[in-house]
Structure 1
Amino acid sequence: MSESLAALGGSLAWPLAVALAWVVGEAGHRWTGLPRISLYGMVGFVLSGAQLGLLTEPSDGTLLLVASAAFGLILFEFGYRVNLRWLRTNPWIGATGLLEAATTFVAVGTVAWLAGMPTLSSLLLASLAMSTSPAALMRVVNEERSSGQVTERVLHLAALNCVLAVLAFKLIVGVWVFDTSGNVWRALSSSVLVLAVSAGLGVAFGVAVPALLRRFGRTGPDATVAIAIGVIVLVAVAHAFRFSPVVAALAFGLTARHRRVALNQAQRNFGALGDLLTVVLFVYVATTIDWQRAWAGLGLAFAIIAVRLLSKTLVVGTLAHVSGTTWRKGFLTGVALTPIAVFAVLMLEQTRFLGVDLIDQLAPLAAMTLVLELIGPVVAQRALVLAGESADDREVH
């Protein structure tokens, strides 16, 4: 009887945690104005196996697949918002993104190395620090109904950050694999080949799914369902064959946009499905953070957070005028690039799923993820509000 109750409690734990996170998110957002995703993460962290022990992660990777599917939906919408023609028209945006990512990589890597971390661990930490979480940004942008120059710049710069971070991370993991195994093919298959095939899969879906929509004449609300199914299938394929769901979903969104596919009636956040999966995603990400590991790396984490914020803000702010905006908006854009948690955690979890466990070697990342899981979306939200680009602020003016 006790075993049956324990099994029943285990099967109910995640659904009840998701329900609790949603309630806390809605109530907290209404009372405090904080982003819902920060509150989802807080609930997940408190209930996780490393803290209260109520949520344990299944060993079969099911939750990782669900979280990756949720992330994939956000990445598709994120990629769909990126306009490559704008980057060609204003090359200073691309130059800003490249210089900002490179500066962050060098600065964070140097700080980690000077703090005594091994060289490869410092480089891995630096590559992840380059990134900005598209999940957090898209949710904050949609929640605030934000639009304007800062919003568009931060989305485009974050897209560049993600691509460069994945590229650097995979290449460094390839070096790490070669260094530990001496197997050139395994090193290549875990880095360059993964990126190429993942991008190819995303492009193929970006061509095939819109073609099916035109074929069936599904140009109305059904476009949301078709695209969502396409993203979920793409992520499942990438997950099963150990490719990169991040690159694949981004490539899918970019291709769909630039093949002039009109998805105006597709619901923001993919409607109720996207909202539900987002709660699961942010609860899951927070449950992967071990408080003891985070505490061990807390001092270095604060140093890295400060250096990362300073690098992004200074570079984007300094180049703001030549790229066609004011210095104030440039600095606010740099500040809005603060979120990182979801991207970094899923990259590490997918790497562990491939048999390469790097989490224990990157204790400062656990602490940085914990801090920025909670405050990163708040910082991005405040930056957009100060820029006057949230819907409430526009209505006031």
Structure 2
Amino acid sequence: MQSLLAIAADLSWPFAITMAWVIGEFGHRWTGLPRISFYGVIGFILAQAQVGILPQMDAGPMLVLADVAFGLILFEVGYRINLRWLKNNPWIAVAGLVEALGTFALVYFIALEFDTSRMTALLLASLSMSTSPATIMRVINEERSSGQVTERLVHLTALNCVLAVFTFNIIVGFWMFHSSTDLIEATSSSAAVLAASVAAGTVFGIVVPAMLRRLGNMAQDATVAFALSVMLLVALTYTTSLSPLLATLTFGLVARHRRVAFSQAQRNFGALGELLTVLLFVYAASTLEWASVTAGAALAGAVIAGRLLTKVVGVAAFSHVSGISWRKGILTGVALTPVSVFIILLLEHARQLGVNFGDELNALAAITLMLEVVGPVLVQRVLMLAKETHEIKER
């Protein structure tokens, strides 16, 4: 009997990932909805806290694989960032800063109105600034989207991620060092980790393109080289307790500006990226518990509404000065709604540092579940309304 249970436990993740992929494919064909919405639903249903097929979550190999999957996506996001475009049109960056800071302030006050502690309100506010690059890039690649809304969405997502990682790490530092005498130490320690993460990504962004130029013919298909480099970088950040999220994003950004063409590489890193994307969304949803979702539903609804308001207003306010119509500005703001996977990985890394939030952040479970399903659909509809998608007939 015990041997059968052991076998079932060993097969649980392969079974869940396969089931999620199959349902995602059929669900996409029958409904036209993004595949990742189905991945999240399956991961949540099969979780230990619900049906109980998947094992109890821990900071083991699945988190490492999820970080690699997310790292590949962040690399692709970073690789699409054009700093020259931001320099020539700084209003895009201004819009990103305004909507992110507006989101932080509004969510903070919303959380206080729901009688949460100031520290919990700060954590909610910092995480709410973010937009999930995993959702954004997956839908963009799936729809083969391109255009003004798509490019602004990618750039604003990257900016939101950087701001969220920075503020979250600083607030977690304060959480770990409660006394005022340790606040300077907490801030400097968090800033040092972030700076070292950026430095690690920068080194990889310089060395890997140089190696590809040296090898010559390998640059014709950089998929494997960049994928292996991301895996190595994630492993390095684990060993040195750095941020894999910030390091991989920086890697992609620097690699782009080293002028090695990434156009020959496969979107979403081909079959490897497809497999890891399924794993990432199943894993993320499997960390949620129904009890936490219901407990935080009211605050979650208010936070989602507040985020949507500030992001739409913040981006739309700078639409004309940044060169797009009001309509496209509003669409871009709406598409910044997804947060799910990004939040979960940040919280998992905080737990690795010994910061256990317990029931403090129940609202995040509800926010994550709601946007795990609705977020990808919103992004897909926005890109369709902007007429930036390219339909591919299913065979």
1:90 is aligned to: 89
Q: Match of 2:391, SS?
A: helix
Q: How does 1:22-171 map to 2 (within 5 A)?
A: 22-57=21-56, 59-171=58-170
Structure 1 position 318, deviation (Å): 1.8
What is the identity, as a one-letter code, of the residue corresponding to 2:97?
Answer: L
For these two proteins, the number of residue pairs brought into alignment is 393
Between 124-133 and 235-244, report the one with greater CA deviation: 235-244
Shift in CA distance, 100/58, structure 1 to aligned 2, threshold 3 Å:
closer
Question: Which blocks of at least 5 consecutive residues in structure 1 are unaligned?
Answer: none
1:198 is aligned to: 197
Structure 1 position 211, deviation (Å): 1.3
Distance 2:75 2:95 in 1: 23
Distance 2:109 2:380 in 1: 29
Between 114-123 and 235-244, report the one with greater CA deviation: 235-244
Identity percentage of aligned residues: 57
1:370 is aligned to: 369
Between 55-64 and 78-87, report the one with greater CA deviation: 55-64
Q: How does 1:345-360 map to 2 (within 5 A)?
A: 345-358=344-357, 360=359
1:307 is aligned to: 306
Distance 1:58 1:356 in 2: 16
1:234 is aligned to: 233
Between 184-193 and 264-273, report the one with greater CA deviation: 184-193
Residues 214-261 of structure 1: CA deviation (Å, up to 9, x unaligned): 222243454110100000110111122221111000000000001112
Structure 1 position 114, deviation (Å): 1.2
Distance 2:180 2:59 in 1: 25
The two structures have a TM-score, normalised by structure 2, of 0.96
Structure 1 position 186, deviation (Å): 6.4
Distance 2:208 2:226 in 1: 7
Distance 2:100 2:252 in 1: 22
Distance 1:13 1:7 in 2: 10
Structure 1 position 57, deviation (Å): 3.8
2:281 is aligned to: 282
Cα pair 1:173 1:190 within 8 Å, conserved:
no
The two structures have a TM-score, normalised by structure 1, of 0.96
Q: Match of 2:4, SS?
A: helix
Q: Match of 1:346, SS?
A: helix
Between 186-195 and 146-155, report the one with greater CA deviation: 186-195
What is the identity, as a one-letter code, of the residue corresponding to 2:376?
Answer: P
Cα pair 1:47 1:53 within 8 Å, conserved:
yes
Shift in CA distance, 122/17, structure 1 to aligned 2, threshold 3 Å:
same
Q: Match of 1:392, SS?
A: coil
Structure 1 position 315, deviation (Å): 1.4
Q: Match of 1:160, SS?
A: helix
What is the identity, as a one-letter code, of the residue corresponding to 1:86?
Answer: W
Cα pair 1:177 1:186 within 8 Å, conserved:
no
Distance 1:209 1:360 in 2: 43
2:224 is aligned to: 225
Structure 1 position 188, deviation (Å): 4.3
What is the identity, as a one-letter code, of the residue corresponding to 1:358?
Answer: F
Shift in CA distance, 58/111, structure 1 to aligned 2, threshold 3 Å:
closer
Distance 1:110 1:194 in 2: 29
Distance 1:280 1:189 in 2: 35
Distance 1:57 1:273 in 2: 26
Shift in CA distance, 186/42, structure 1 to aligned 2, threshold 3 Å:
farther
Is 1:333–2:332 an aligned residue pair? yes
Query: After TM superposition, where is structure 1 displaced by more than 4 Å over at least 4 residues in a row?
Result: 180-186
Residues 41-88 of structure 1: CA deviation (Å, up to 9, x unaligned): 110000001100110145352111000000000000010001011110
Q: Match of 2:263, SS?
A: coil
Cα pair 2:42 2:282 within 8 Å, conserved:
yes
Shift in CA distance, 173/154, structure 1 to aligned 2, threshold 3 Å:
same
Q: Match of 2:338, SS?
A: coil
Root-mean-square deviation (CA, aligned residues, Å) is 1.6
2:176 is aligned to: 177
What is the identity, as a one-letter code, of the residue corresponding to 1:249?
Answer: T
What is the identity, as a one-letter code, of the residue corresponding to 1:7?
Answer: A
Between 57-66 and 41-50, report the one with greater CA deviation: 57-66
Structure 1 position 190, deviation (Å): 5.1
Distance 2:136 2:313 in 1: 20
Shift in CA distance, 318/294, structure 1 to aligned 2, threshold 3 Å:
same
What is the identity, as a one-letter code, of the residue corresponding to 2:138?
Answer: R
Structure 1 position 392, deviation (Å): 2.6
Distance 1:131 1:369 in 2: 12
Distance 2:144 2:232 in 1: 29
Q: Match of 2:50, SS?
A: coil
Distance 1:129 1:27 in 2: 32
Cα pair 1:348 1:359 within 8 Å, conserved:
no
Question: Which blocks of at least 5 consecutive residues in structure 2 are unaligned?
Answer: none
Distance 1:216 1:94 in 2: 36
Cα pair 1:221 1:267 within 8 Å, conserved:
no
Cα pair 1:80 1:253 within 8 Å, conserved:
yes
Distance 1:390 1:221 in 2: 27
1:344 is aligned to: 343
